Structure 1
Amino acid sequence: MAALLVVLFPFGLLVFLLFMEKVEAPLRRSNDPQEVERFLDHAKQEDVDNIIAGGLRKAMDRWRGRVARRKSQPDNE
Structure 2
Amino acid sequence: MTVWFVIAVPLVVMLFALGMERVENRLRHVSVRGEDVEEFLEQAHPDEVRALYGHGIGRALELFRLRRFGGKAAKVKARRTRG
Task: Tell me the TM-score normalised to structure 1 length.
Answer: 0.50
Structure index of larger Rg = 2
Task: Tell me the TM-score normalised to structure 2 length.
Answer: 0.48
